[in-house]
Amino acid sequence: MKAIHFGAGNIGRGFIGQVLHDNNFELTFIDTNNTIIDQLNQDKGYEIELLDNNQTQIYIDNVSALHSIEETDKVIELIVEGDIITTSVGAHNLVHISPVIKDALIKRADTKKTINILANENMINASDLLKEKIKEICNQSEWEKIETTAYFANTSIDRQALSKEINGKQIVVVEPYYEWIIEKNKLDPNASYTLSNVKVVSDMKPYIERKLFLVNACHAAFAYLGSLFHYRTVQESIKDQRINRLVRQFLDQNIAYFVTEYQMNEDELKNFVAETIARQGNPALSDDVHRVGRSPRRKLGPFDRLIFPIKKLKELELENDKGKLIAAAAYCYQDRNDKEAVEIQNMISEQGITFTVKEISQVSSEQAQELSDLYYAIHNNRENIFSEEI
């Protein structure tokens, strides 16, 4: 069986690639990084190192790679012949890979062979977004052809993955834990394989939201608060007891959403959060706060990890004050090397914080004013974020 994976980064190689390999797929990575492409083609495999006590080494073989722009024809032919398409390119890059996937799926439709397409990105319903981006560049007859064979199933993924260089080779370094959840009712019912070491569920929404509003929200909160107090890494931020306490309070409030909305078990969620913080605080990791905090405009969007819980908790008449503090801290975030961070700070300077919050987070006027007041308090004195009086 053949798997085509777009994105040969840390998650692609260190997570999705490993699971596909363990399910006996021959792997081809599609990327634009010539260094990684050359390494994969030369070695016909790659090494993964686990962040465990033994620094366990795993070797992934039966691997090749293609350049998504320079070798488009080969990519199309591979998709026509393949058995599964997966991605981990970053949600904002799905639009860039849509044209080649579209051309391949149209050609594949002539063979009548169905295929699963799983976009594994840090957002809700990434496969639906990829489907939408492909549909946007199709005429009606093209899309009708694609629909006869293409199955877009949403996923939720969770694994921390970093990389290091040894002897000129890029080595992926991952935690032992991972979770890959796939939407059951959108999978190809006639697929010739069944994936093991994944969780297939009928209702994705609670799992996607749990990942985004507990795991990702936790990571982002430690990054933005860490940046506010000039810590270099998320792990340093987690060690700060005041920051740690605030993030735990923030996540406790988010837990109330899951208990109320989905009747999920509160104790299980608290254990899940404790495990999440322990994982993210792993001393073997070194997560730069700017890497984790990058793309703040997306993370402050109305349906993303920081703002959506605030809005839902408000609707449910549940406490959301800690989430507002974290969001206000995110609006204080600065990184001159991050385009979105620069855009936000320029917008605040030119249009004001209230306008910026309404424009980016699309909250009510009341919530925009609340976030603005918190922003000014924190911007004027970062210690105010720990005050019970703001």
Express each pLDDT in 101-126 by its tens digit: 999 999 999 999 999 999 999 888 99
Express each pLDDT in 20-39 by its tens digit: 999 999 999 999 999 999 99
Are 196 and 209 members of one domain?
A: no
Are 268 and 138 members of one domain?
A: no
User: Which two three-digit tokens encode residue 152?
Assistant: 């877009």
Last residue of a domain, one of 179, 201, 223: 201
Express each pLDDT in 142-189 by its tens digit: 999 999 999 999 999 999 998 899 988 999 999 999 999 999 999 999
Last residue of a domain, one of 169, 201, 233: 201
pLDDT value of position 77: 98
Residues whose CB falls within 8 Å of the CB of residue 47, separated by 6 or more in sequence, listed in order: 57, 58, 59, 60, 169, 171, 172
Taking the CA of residue 366 as centre, how many other CA atoms within 13 Å lie in the half-sphere pointing to its CB?
A: 3
Beta bridge partners of 354: none
| Structural domains in the chain (count) | 2
Express each pLDDT in 70-111 by its tens digit: 999 999 999 999 999 999 999 999 999 999 999 999 999 999
Last residue of a domain, one of 174, 201, 228: 201
Instruction: Tell me what the mean pLDDT of segment 184-204 comes to.
Output: 95
Instruction: Tell me what the mean pLDDT of segment 296-321 comes to.
Output: 97
Residues whose CB falls within 8 Å of the CB of residue 367, separated by 6 or more in sequence, listed in order: 310, 311, 314, 324, 357
Q: What percent of the chain has pLDDT over 70?
A: 100
Are 377 and 238 members of one domain?
A: yes
Are 53 and 118 members of one domain?
A: yes
Using alpha carbons, list the distances in angstroms from residue 279 to 47, 106, 288, 343.
Answer: 22, 42, 15, 32
Are 160 and 179 members of one domain?
A: yes
How deeply is 257 buried, as exposed, middle or buried, from its count of CB atoms within 10 A (0-12, 13-18, 19+)?
buried
pLDDT value of position 382: 97
**Quick check: 324 and 307 in contact, CB under 8 A?**
no
Are 161 and 33 members of one domain?
A: yes
pLDDT value of position 131: 98
* CATH code for the domain in which residue 273 is found: 1.10.1040.10
Are 330 and 293 members of one domain?
A: yes
Are 225 and 350 members of one domain?
A: yes
Range of the domain at 130: 2-201
pLDDT value of position 124: 83
* CATH code for the domain in which residue 170 is found: 3.40.50.720
Q: Report how far Cα 79 is from the mean position of its chain's Cα atoms.
A: 24
pLDDT value of position 53: 84
Residue 388 — pLDDT band, cuts 50, 70, 90? confident
Are 159 and 263 members of one domain?
A: no
Are 215 and 69 members of one domain?
A: no
Residues whose CB falls within 8 Å of the CB of residue 137, separated by 6 or more in sequence, listed in order: 98, 99, 102
Average pLDDT value for the chain? 96
**Quick check: 149 and 105 in contact, CB under 8 A?**
yes
Are 187 and 234 members of one domain?
A: no
Are 46 and 124 members of one domain?
A: yes
